Amino acid sequence: MGLLLTAACAARVTEAPAALPPFPLVSAPPILDTPAPPPDPVQELIASSTRHFERGQQELQLGHLEAAKAAFDQALEVLLESPFGARSHPAVRDHFDRLVERISAYEVTALAKADGFAERTLDPATIDDLLAISTFELPAPSAETRQTVAADLRADAHDIDIPLNARVLQLVQLLTGRMKAFLEEGLSRSVQFLPMVQDIFRAEGLPLDLAYVPLVESAFKPSALSRAKARGIWQFMQGTALENGLKHDWYIDERAEPEKATRAAAKYLRTLHDLFDGDWHLALASYNAGPGRVQRAMRRSGRTDFWKLAATTRYLPRETRDYVPLVLAAIIVARNPAQYGMTIQPVDVPRRETVTLPGAMDLRRVAEWVGAPVQTIQDLNPELRRWTTPVRETDYDLKVPEGTADIVRVHLAESDPDALAPLNWHTVKRGETLLSIARTLKVNRTDLAEANYLSIRSKVAAGQRLIIPRAPTLLLAANPEPAPTTAALQASDAAPASNTAAPPTAAAQAAVIYRVKRGDTLFSIAKLYRTTVASLKTWNRLRSNTIQIGQRLTVFTSLPAVATN
């Protein structure tokens, strides 16, 4: 029985289960290639227009006005030339109006800034902040600072006397502590100027330690401007600069040109040295306060030593009492920066070369020719106050990036000299004065006078040609005609067309009444009459870019009358 059960169990265990029927294979439905929806021609048109506009924005940021204008024109032209037209499709019409508004806003902004005639942006001079900080309680010098400075003065021969007194030590502590980052930045920037400064001072027989004075004055920034209107790495006041051979007018300020300013500083420091019988401490005090003030302080006190004069508040201003020890402290640290924990990262010095210009030149045009931002050209020529070289100075030497001088020369040879600078001119009429011209043309009277090398009290004569310190941008209206020649301007009785709020005089241009037709836009009308959208809106008191069929617009133009149907 047991065997039977065992056999039965064994039979049940070894019995293979019945095979399941195979799962029927179902073929997947074929993936059909659904065609992509056709591109929306309207959206493609708008995208193309937007790409041109964005390129114009990029060019404008670089200061490339011609390239920006061409790109903005193209952004509008692709809409005007499309089968839809600029006004027939709602989406295209809205995009067109937005573009005109945005480009017009750029133009208005440029005009508000005098479009290249506004003075370039300057940096605040460091001396204001440094002398302000020194009025607070200064840190007591650490034992380490005392030891380091004492060892420094023993080991290093300085070519001006540096006393180891409490005020100098306090200011060394300030410059290597709280003001460390400031001094490191100035020292890093100084690397590109120090060889030039030292060469000039060595040739003039001046102490090389004085090459570090700009650390305190400006942190070696050519564009530095103090609250007292001192300028450049040597922080010359305008009167002192003129006395020492530096040129200053509406177009140029040589205080900002490092080499020219350094030669003037060497001359001035030599004069102060001789005036104070070789005492460099008094010479430095007078560099800050003026020699007259220091001489009066010496007469009043009967003292001839700077440190005795500075021991009381009675004779010298506070900033002068602090200025001399601050310069000496900066010299100590600058001579051995690593010893005071300074990290110097030299600023890259752009290589440059010079090209001689035959006349006035718009820096933005040069920037476009050499493919550089206009800021690069300005940085290479810090003495230029505006975006143009002097209008009445020939053979001006302009610095350009290395390897580009020949490119500029080729463009100069191929260009009309009268088209190289965007200048507006006005021929004085009988009875006009600088004030009346300034009011009529809506420019500042002082700028009008100085741009023409006149004083605001100067009289002008009928027939005299004046530069109007406002350059046309014409970002919106393409002008296929070449710029007027000098001869043409001389024959004209008024300035060439420009983006002004006031309409031209009847003697210069006639008023035309234009009736708007189907498909017209402010842009197309402005282009037809070679004016701008901004001018059309001003002349007709329009608040938007919308115009209606049959609407009458006043246009001031010197062109022959255009049929208006």
> Which has the higher per-residue pLDDT, 203 or 106?
203
pTM of the model: 0.72
Which pair of tokens denotes residue 408?
């500029």
Render 107-123 in DSSP notation, one character per residue.
HHHHHHTTTTTSPPP-E
28-42 per-position pLDDT tens digit: 566 666 676 778 888
15-24 per-position pLDDT tens digit: 454 555 554 5
What is the arithmetic mean of pLDDT over 236-247?
Answer: 96
What gap in Å lies between CA 198 and CA 210, rounded to an integer? 9
What is the arithmetic mean of pLDDT over 255-259?
Answer: 97
Residue 136's identity, in one-letter code, is F
DSSP letter assigned to residue 418: G
Domains along the chain?
41-112 (no CATH), 123-340 (1.10.530.10), 352-414 (no CATH), 423-470 (3.10.350.10)
Residues 6+ apart with CB under 8 A from 195: none
Q: What pLDDT score was predicted for residue 109?
A: 64
Per-residue pLDDT band at 565 (split at 50, 70, 90): very low
- Do 215 and 175 meet the contact criterion of CB atoms below 8 Å apart? no
- Do 159 and 198 meet the contact criterion of CB atoms below 8 Å apart? no
| Overall residue count recorded for the chain in this entry | 565
What gap in Å lies between CA 180 and CA 343, rounded to an integer? 9
- Do 481 and 495 meet the contact criterion of CB atoms below 8 Å apart? no
Looking at the DSSP bridge assignments, the partners of residue 514 are 553
Would residue 353 show up in a list of annotated catalytic residues for this protein? no
468-525 per-position pLDDT tens digit: 886 555 555 443 333 333 333 333 333 333 333 344 443 344 567 888 887 788 888 8
With a cut of 50, say whether residue 313 has pLDDT above it.
yes
Q: What pLDDT score was predicted for residue 562?
A: 46
What gap in Å lies between CA 218 and CA 197, rounded to an integer? 14
Residues 6+ apart with CB under 8 A from 35: none
| Percent of the chain with pLDDT strictly greater than 90 | 50
Neighbours of 453 (CB within 10 A): 14
What gap in Å lies between CA 342 and CA 200, rounded to an integer? 26
Question: What values do phi and psi take at 527, rounded to 5?
Answer: -65, -40
Quickly tell me which residue has 């006035």 as its tokens. Answer: 360
What gap in Å lies between CA 397 and CA 519, rounded to an integer? 50
Which pair of tokens denotes residue 552?
């009458």
With a cut of 90, say whether residue 13 has pLDDT above it.
no
Give the 3-state secondary structure of residue 89. Answer: coil
Helix (H), strand (E), coil (C) string for 474-529? CCCCCCCCCCCCHHHHHHCCCCCCCCCCCCCCCCCCEEEEEECCCCCCHHHHHHHC
Q: What pLDDT score was predicted for residue 295?
A: 97
404-432 per-position pLDDT tens digit: 999 999 999 998 877 787 677 889 999 99
Question: How many angstroms separate the Cα of 216 from the Cα of each of 150, 183, 496?
Answer: 22, 9, 48
Which is catalytic among the residues 59, 107, 217, 383? 217
Task: Count Cβ neighbours within 10 Å for each residue of 340-350 and write b for 16 or more, e otherwise.
Answer: bebebeeeeee
Q: What pLDDT score was predicted for residue 481?
A: 32
528-547 per-position pLDDT tens digit: 777 878 788 878 878 778 88
39-68 per-position pLDDT tens digit: 888 888 899 999 999 999 898 888 887 888
Helix axes 166-176, 143-155, angle to 10 degrees: 110
Residue 313's identity, in one-letter code, is T
What is the arithmetic mean of pLDDT over 194-208?
Answer: 97
Q: What pLDDT score was predicted for residue 235?
A: 97
- Do 392 and 435 meet the contact criterion of CB atoms below 8 Å apart? no
Render 451-478 in DSSP notation, one character per residue.
HTT--TT----TT-EEEES-----SSS-
What gap in Å lies between CA 348 and CA 402, rounded to an integer? 14
Number of helices and strands in the chain (H, E): 25, 8
